[in-house]
């Protein structure tokens, strides 16, 4: 007979740490070691203030639904048992709950939030409205976050690192041309341009998206070619256009916007 007795509906019960395993659907992969040590020290003195949540997967075996950070810190603090609520959840519900808890973390950056929203939609088969209801945000907010994932990797990195704000990012989304987006990013980083100024620059930019506008690429209606263009744009971090010719021939046009930009591309090719 186990040393822990747990009721799915009851108050939190103490479960042996040795019987608990981490959530394989946990969207968070990085746990700051220093922050964990600080939490562990707090737990040594005050105990766990908020119980973790688990599901029973086998006799005397539990899997974390939420609270993995508290669980890891408890192990570091040397605790043999942790308070936990037991819930019944299938794999789909596990993923959903883990993603929602991840989104609700205060220190999550906008790109990780956007990725979690997208995973809720794609892997949990939820609509924008259903996601907004589960995370307690309005639909427009959810949509604006997901749109960030359309930006080039270099801009996403700047958002993730806190180098540019959500306001800057939302302005840059309205630029259709990757090269122009990156040029404006460079201006923001080097000159500290305000969001309002960037919005003004976007409004006058020749690469600005217009309602109902289409890209000038001659292969816009051929998804395979457009996918290749996007992959090359992500690789070179600039505008790439494929133009098809007769009998399968064609051209790949890689844009550059300054001598430095050209040298950057040449350095990439040399490697």
**Residue 130 annotated to the active site:** no
Catalytic residue among 21, 37, 68, 123: 68
Any idea what the Cα angle at residue 69 is, between residues 66 and 74, rounded to 5°? Answer: 110
Whole-angstrom Cα distance, residue 182 to residue 188? 10
Task: Report the distance separating Cα 226 and Cα 200, nearest Å.
Answer: 29
As separate numbers, helices (DSSP H) first and strands (DSSP E) second, the chain gives 12, 7
The structure tokens listed for 80 are 């043999």
Cβ pair 15, 82 in contact under 8 A:
yes
> What gap in Å lies between CA 168 and CA 166, rounded to an integer?
5
Secondary-structure percent of the chain, ordered helix, strand, coil, rounded to 5: 50, 15, 35
Q: What ranges make up the beta strands (E) of the chain?
A: 13-16, 20-21, 52-58, 61-66, 81-87, 240-244, 250-254
- C-alpha span between 104 and 107 (Å, rounded): 9
Distance, in Å, from the CA atom of 223 to the CA atom of 200, rounded to the nearest integer, reads 33
Return the structure tokens found at 228: 């290749």
Active site residues: 68
């Amino acid at each position: 007979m186990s040393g822990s007795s747990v009721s799915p509906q009851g108050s939190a019960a103490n479960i042996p740490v040795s019987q608990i395993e981490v959530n394989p659907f946990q969207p968070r992969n990085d746990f700051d070691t220093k922050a964990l040590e600080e939490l562990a020290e707090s737990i040594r003195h005050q105990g766990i203030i908020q119980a973790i949540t688990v599901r029973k997967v086998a006799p005397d075996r539990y899997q974390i639904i939420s609270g993995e950070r508290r669980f890891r810190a408890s192990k570091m603090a040397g605790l043999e048992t942790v308070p936990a609520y037991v819930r019944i959840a299938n794999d789909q519900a596990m993923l959903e709950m883990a993603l929602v808890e991840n989104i609700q973390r205060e220190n999550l950056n906008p790109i990780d939030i956007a990725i979690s929203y997208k995973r809720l939609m794609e892997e949990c088969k939820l609509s924008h409205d259903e996601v907004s209801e589960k995370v307690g945000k309005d639909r427009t907010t959810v949509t604006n976050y997901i749109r960030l994932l359309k930006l080039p990797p270099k801009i996403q990195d700047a958002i993730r690192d806190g180098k540019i704000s959500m306001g800057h990012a939302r302005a840059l989304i309205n630029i259709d041309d990757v090269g122009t987006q990156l040029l404006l990013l460079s201006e923001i980083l080097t000159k500290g341009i305000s969001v309002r100024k960037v919005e003004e620059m976007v409004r006058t930019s020749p690469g600005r998206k217009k309602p109902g506008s289409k890209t000038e690429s001659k292969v816009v209606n051929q998804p395979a070619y457009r996918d290749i263009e996007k992959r090359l744009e992500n690789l070179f971090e600039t505008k790439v256009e494929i133009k098809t010719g007769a009998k399968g021939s064609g051209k790949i046009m890689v844009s550059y916007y300054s001598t430095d930009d050209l040298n950057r591309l040449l350095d990439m090719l040399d490697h």
